[in-house]
């Protein structure tokens, strides 16, 4: 990991999300303050790790971090706010939920949430450059994968436990065949196009396209 220069003596919170790109399910945001005295070997961008590696690291991060928080933003909120604003709101809430007030928040990406209680810096590809952001990415990814496996039981037949809501060819084929379910993000173009092309589809909640 090509790290940024250290910021000595400060409580740094890393913030990252999982699930901005899927067509279904929540976006999950995590904030982590690592303990510099309890180093965890193997932390890296969650996308560079296997599921087994993430599952091994997540409990270590939870057990050794000075503080952590995880926020789940559901599909309805994503549709209401849009995915960027829903993610930024989740980041703000995750930082506010930390039991320890950070002195600085380092946030993956190029946008900062509004109304933060501490100074913050957005870092493009921060999950590959900052250990605290990488740790947050691992917690967010592991938590979201578990949420999607649970949702697979509630909405069988869509394959959520396998593709986690991402627009894989298999998911898109099922979406066209079965129509969206309640956890699909209706504001996302592939979902909305199926709805508008097939007036008989709804979300199981009475919603139909105009």
Q: Which CATH class is domain 12-144?
A: alpha beta
Segment 96-123, tens digit of pLDDT: 999 999 999 999 999 999 999 999 999 9
What integer pLDDT is reported at residue 7 of this predicted model?
A: 55
What integer pLDDT is reported at residue 3 of this predicted model?
A: 47
Segment 41-64, tens digit of pLDDT: 999 999 999 999 999 999 999 999
Query: How many angstroms separate the CA atoms of 33 and 29, rounded?
Result: 14
Query: How many angstroms separate the CA atoms of 24 and 33, rounded?
Result: 29
Segment 125-179, tens digit of pLDDT: 999 999 999 999 999 999 999 999 999 999 999 999 999 999 999 999 999 999 9
Per-chain mean pLDDT for the chain: 92
Residue 16's H or E segment, with its range, is strand 12-18
What integer pLDDT is reported at residue 201 of this predicted model?
A: 57
Q: What Å distances lie between residue 42 and 12, 124, 138, CA to CA?
A: 19, 21, 11
**Residue 73, C-beta contacts closer than 8 angstroms, at least 6 positions apart:** 26, 27, 28, 29, 86, 87, 89, 90
What integer pLDDT is reported at residue 25 of this predicted model?
A: 98
Q: What Å distances lie between residue 178 and 24, 155, 167, 191, CA to CA?
A: 14, 11, 15, 11
Q: Please report, rounded to a whole number, the percentage of residues in the chain having pLDDT higher than 70.
A: 90
Q: Where are the domains of the chain?
A: 12-144, 153-195
């Amino acid at each position: 990991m090509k790290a940024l220069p250290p910021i000595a003596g400060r409580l740094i919170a890393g913030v990252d999300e999982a699930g901005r790109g899927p067509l279904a399910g929540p976006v999950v945001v995590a904030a982590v303050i690592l303990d510099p005295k309890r180093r965890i070997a193997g932390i890296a961008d969650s996308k560079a790790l296997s599921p087994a590696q993430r599952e091994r690291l997540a409990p270590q991060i939870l057990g050794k971090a000075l503080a952590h928080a995880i926020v789940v933003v559901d599909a309805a909120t994503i549709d209401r706010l849009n995915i960027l604003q829903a993610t930024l709101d989740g980041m703000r809430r995750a930082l506010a939920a930390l039991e320890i007030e950070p002195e600085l928040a380092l946030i993956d990406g190029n946008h900062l949430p509004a109304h933060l209680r501490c100074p913050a810096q957005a870092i493009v590809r921060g999950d590959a450059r900052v250990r605290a952001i990488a740790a947050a990415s691992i917690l967010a990814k592991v938590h979201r994968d578990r949420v999607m496996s649970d949702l697979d039981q509630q909405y069988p037949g869509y394959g959520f436990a396998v593709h986690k809501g991402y627009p894989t060819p298999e998911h898109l084929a099922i979406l066209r065949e079965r129509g969206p379910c309640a956890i699909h993000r209706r504001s996302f173009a592939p979902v909305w196009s199926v709805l508008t092309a097939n007036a008989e589809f709804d979300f199981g909640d009475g919603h139909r396209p105009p």
